[in-house]
Structure 1
Amino acid sequence: MREVKLSLFGFGNVGRAVARVLLSKEAFFRERYRLKFRVVSVADTSGVVWLPEGMDMREALAVKETFGKLSSWTNDYEVYSLTPKEAVREIDADIIVDVTNDKNAHEWHLAALRDGRGIVTSNKPPLAFHYADLIGEAEKRDLPYLFEATVMAGTPIITLLREGILADSIEGMEAVLNATTTFILSQMEMGQDFERALKTAQRLGIAERDPSGDVLGIDAGYKATVLHCLAFHPITFDDIAVKGIAEVTSGEVRRARERGRTIRLVAAVEKGKVVVEPREVPLGSPLAVESHENAAVIRTDLLGELVIKGAGAGLKETASGVVSDIVKASLSLRGA
């Protein structure tokens, strides 16, 4: 049995979903992989709770859900005011798990790698802007840097591209990678205009209070950038073209339906070129997804056309991607 020490950064919805999977499947991980996970620290925006011998994650969940912040956990644990970079250097952990939205997280990811710690992350901007540096540092030190949940939640497109089709040359791919825009466009097909459809999405918790990352195509652009880095060579988000759905009109949606087509926010990824924009796709296309599904059509020289489709959002789905990477990283560490 190998014990693996985890340091968890981010204890919002995704972080708590990860914690629940680690708890509920503890016996499964022991029996199937001979792995025991010990969470030695948890951080949210209020502070870092750190206990080298391991934390009671059920109590951590109760504190966060009752009081809204980990800094309220004062009875048995000390709360530290550490920056993420300080925390990854001071806390003895095997794997750093980043489920934050910190756009500058590449700085402390690099610090963690240089201190010999593996990384598992669902955080997109570090990879969308610093992929080459992060992967290069991890490879130089023979450490895992895993990021399945950055694209399509737990649907394993990252593993497919990184490990599954190594004999193939990828010629290009088209993908629908943002479920919020799919919901809004679906509502517009039912007669709502863009503003009303957006408000519906916000009321249901599908769109954020600030929806710009989704409706302007930024989220899909981050994901498409990561796919290009995997399929071809490293680029950054600044190298791609992005147009969101804010200018799509009800008339355009209606006319597309009359032609047997639907409008979706499509990322087209070719070597040296990434374009994210609303496009008409046939109703029978794998890209004509509904609800929270994502889909990608990958073209290769040997396999031809390969379709991967599945959940692109959702807490347990994202936690699946994160925890799968935790298991994979644990097994790859020396001595596993």
Structure 2
Amino acid sequence: MREIKLSIFGFGNVGRAVVRVLLEKGALFRERYGVEFKVVSVADTSGVVWLPEGIDPREALIIKENFGKLSSWTNDYEVYNFTPSEAVREIDSDIVVDVTNDKNAHTWHLAALKDGKAVVTSNKPPLAFHYAELMKEAEGRNLPYFFEATVMAGTPIITVLQDGLKGDTVERIEAVLNATTTFILSRMEAGLDFEEALREAQALGIAERDPSGDILGIDAGYKATILHCLAFHPLTFDRVKRRGIEEITPEDVRRAQGRGNTIRLVAEIEDGAVTVEPREVPRTNPLAVESHENTAVIRTDLLGELVITGAGAGLKETASGVVGDIIKASMKLRES
């Protein structure tokens, strides 16, 4: 049985969902993969809780859910005021798990890799801006750097592009990659105006208090950038041509409906070019998804058209991608 030490950064909804999966399915993972996961540290914005012999993940969940911050956990554990870069260097772990929204996380991802640690992340900006540097560092050290959950939550589009099309040349990808905008546009089809639909999305927790990352196409742009890096070559987010849904009116929606179409925020990815913008698509088109689904239509020279549709949001769904990557990283570390 191989023990794998995890250092988890980010203990919000996704971080806690990941820990719950590790707890609930620990016996299965031991039996199926021969790995025992030990959480040696967890961190939120209030501090880092670290114990080399392993912390109690159940107690971490209780503290966070009852007190809202890990720094309240003072009875049995010391809370450290490490920066993430300090923490990844100081804490002895095998895999650094980043489920934060830290836009500068590439700095401590690189620090982790340089210190011989694998990295698993759901955090999009590091890859959207620093993909080439991160992958060069990981590959040069033969370390896992996995990021399935950055695009389409746990739906394995990253795996498909990395490992599933070895003999194919990707020609184009068209995708709907942001569930919040799909929800808003769907509610506008039901008769709401943009502001009403946005307020409903916020009330349901589908949209953030500051929804700009979704409605301006930034989130979809990050994801499309990552797909371009995989399908073609490294490209950075500042090269994306982007227009969000904030100017879509009920009249636009009704006109599209009258033509048998629907409006969705579509990312088009071709070699050297990424565009994110609202487009009319026929109701029969795979891009006409509903609810929290995402979809990608991948066209290759040999396979033709491959459609991947699945959950693009949700806690369990995102945890699926993160935990799957933790297991993959563990298997690779075991081989090395």
Query: Normalised by the size of structure 2, how large is the TM-score?
Result: 0.99
Q: Deviations over 1:215-256 (max 9, x none)?
A: 000000000000000000000000110100000111010110
Match of 1:23 in 2: 23
**Poorly superposed stretches of 4+, deviation over 3 Å:** none
Q: CA deviation at 1:301?
A: 0.4
Q: CA deviation at 1:80?
A: 0.3
Alpha-carbon contact 2:2-2:334 (below 8 Å) kept: no
Q: How far apart are 1:335 and its partner, in Å?
A: 4.4
> What pairs with 1:41-120 in structure 2 (closer than 5 Å)?
41-120=41-120
1:66-106 CA distance string (max 9 Å, x none): 00000000010000000000000000000000000000000
Q: How far apart are residue 282 of structure 1 and its match?
A: 0.6
Unaligned runs of 5+ in 1: none
CA drift at 1:334? 4.2
Code of the aligned partner of 1:284: T
Aligned residue in 1 for 2:286: 286
Partner of 1:183: 183
**Letter in structure 2 aligned against 1:264:** R
* DSSP-derived class of the 2:36 partner: strand
- Structure 1 match to 2:8: 8
Task: For 2:168 and 2:55, locate their aligned partners in 1 and report how far apart those are by CA, in whole Å.
Answer: 44
1:233 equivalent in structure 2: 233
Q: Distance in 1 between matches of 2:58 and 2:240?
A: 43
Matches of 2:253 and 2:181, distance apart in 1: 13
1:65 is paired with a residue whose SS is helix
Aligned twin of 1:215: 215
Letter of the structure 1 residue corresponding to residue 103 of structure 2: K
Give the whole-Å Cα distance in 2 for the aligned partners of 1:34 and 1:267.
Answer: 40
CA RMSD across the alignment: 0.6
| Partners of 1:17 and 1:245 in 2: CA distance | 30
Query: Is 1:167 equivalent to 2:167 in the alignment?
Result: yes
Specify the SS of the correspondent of 2:60: helix
SS of equivalent residue, structure 2 residue 246: coil
Structure 2 partner of 1:316:
316
Q: C-alpha deviations, 1:109-132, integer Å up to 9, x for none?
A: 000000000000000000000000
- Map 1:234-253 to 2 at 5 A: 234-253=234-253
Letter in 2 for 1:50: W
Distance in 2 of aligned mates of 1:231 and 1:31: 35
Q: Secondary structure at the match of 1:333?
A: helix
CA distance in 2, matches of 1:150, 1:335: 25
Contiguous gaps of at least 5 residues in structure 2:
none
What is the TM-score normalised by the length of structure 1?
Answer: 0.99
**1:137: which partner in 2?**
137
Residue type matched to 1:98 in 2? D
1:39 is matched with which residue?
A: 39
Structure 1 match to 2:297: 297
Instruction: Give the whole-Å Cα distance in 2 for the aligned partners of 1:136 and 1:267.
Output: 26
Map of 1:330 onto structure 2: 330
Distance 1:260 1:334 in 2: 53
Secondary structure of the structure 2 residue equivalent to 1:49: strand
Structure 1 position 267 matched with structure 2 position 251: no
Cα distance per residue 1:182-207 (max 9 Å; x no partner): 00000000011111110111111110
1-side partners of 2:76 and 2:36: how far apart? 23
Q: Calculate percent identity across the aligned residue pairs.
A: 76
Q: Match of 1:3, as an amino acid?
A: E
Task: Look up the SS of the partner of 2:172 in the other structure.
Answer: strand
1:317 to partner: Cα distance: 0.1
